[in-house]
Amino acid sequence: MSGARLDLDGVGKSFRGLRAVHDVSFSVPAGAIHALIGPNGAGKTTIFNMIAGVYAPDAGAVRLDGRAISGLRPDRVCDAGVGRTFQLVKPFKGLSVLENVTVGALHRTADLARARDSADAILSRLGLFERRHQLAESLTLPDRKRLEVARALATEPKLLLLDEVMAGLRPTEVDVMVGFLRELNGKTGLTILLIEHVMRAVMALAAEIVVASYGEKIAEGTPQEIARHQAVLDVYLGEPEAP
């Protein structure tokens, strides 16, 4: 398992004339961790959904290792090597934690026993092993977030899209998740793109940050550059009043 490079090239999407995302381009090199941030309604999740195949972009292209994946169905995008989590978690509620992750692992093997084994391995790395026989609906929100990550990882992606997996976690839990993702990235070279509001996690993980506002990319750079970027400060803190 190694990472793949992600390129967004002038991607745009409108819903019934309402422009959700316009002309967004950025790249995540293979093996890098980047973050996508922006105020609510900036179009971050729409961008994720275009990468993951939920929506086909109206304009532009999404490429994974140079191969166009935009317009493919979500299961095809998964085949291509993209794993994703949902902002509003979507566990298979009536199935056990183990079965949830097993479904993901079945993407790589048709053998149920083998899929269970790799699901077990992923669950222990995410600290869910003790809960593997519980129904997913009985999990707390932080555990459900972990389950989302585990299930996506079970498909052995080359690019992992994480949509606000830190939200609702306590600071210590954020640190654990950050540690896990960093280790995962270090060991496997998996490329990670995360949408995140928890800046503690963004600053700790992301080599580069893309900032979106009103559906457009307004800044891109290292965390230090972004922290000083005037347009970003304007978006988050409001524009300075005219003297």
Q: Which residues bind another protein (CB under 8 A)?
A: 52, 54, 73-75, 78-79, 83-84, 86, 90-95, 99, 102-104, 106-107, 110, 112, 115, 151-152, 154-155
Per the structure block, which two tokens stand in for 34?
A: 């980047």
In the complex, what is the shortest distance from the CB of residue 99 to another protein, in angstroms, rounded to a whole number? 7
β-pairing, 159-163 vs 82-84, is parallel
Nearer to another protein, 67 or 93 (CB): 93
In the complex, what is the shortest distance from the CB of residue 98 to another protein, in angstroms, rounded to a whole number? 11
Nearer to another protein, 53 or 202 (CB): 53
Nearer to another protein, 17 or 94 (CB): 94
Residue type, 214: Y
Nearer to another protein, 22 or 145 (CB): 145
In the complex, what is the shortest distance from the CB of residue 55 to another protein, in angstroms, rounded to a whole number? 12
In the complex, what is the shortest distance from the CB of residue 195 to another protein, in angstroms, rounded to a whole number? 15
Place of tokens 């183990």: 98
In the complex, what is the shortest distance from the CB of residue 198 to another protein, in angstroms, rounded to a whole number? 23
Nearer to another protein, 79 or 225 (CB): 79
- Closest-CA residue to 160 (of 36, 66, 26, 39): 36
Cα(119)–Cα(133) distance, rounded to whole angstroms? 12
β-pairing, 18-28 vs 6-15, is antiparallel
In the complex, what is the shortest distance from the CB of residue 143 to another protein, in angstroms, rounded to a whole number? 16
Per the structure block, which two tokens stand in for 89?
A: 């978690």
Nearer to another protein, 54 or 218 (CB): 54
Cα(205)–Cα(43) distance, rounded to whole angstroms? 22
In the complex, what is the shortest distance from the CB of residue 170 to another protein, in angstroms, rounded to a whole number? 25
Helical residues (DSSP H) of the chain, grouped into ranges: 44-52, 74-80, 97-105, 112-125, 141-154, 171-188, 199-205, 223-228, 230-237
Nearer to another protein, 113 or 242 (CB): 113
Per the structure block, which two tokens stand in for 172?
A: 């210590």
Instruction: Using DSSP, state whether 161 is helix, strand or coil.
Output: strand
CA 98 to chain centroid, in Å, comes to 22
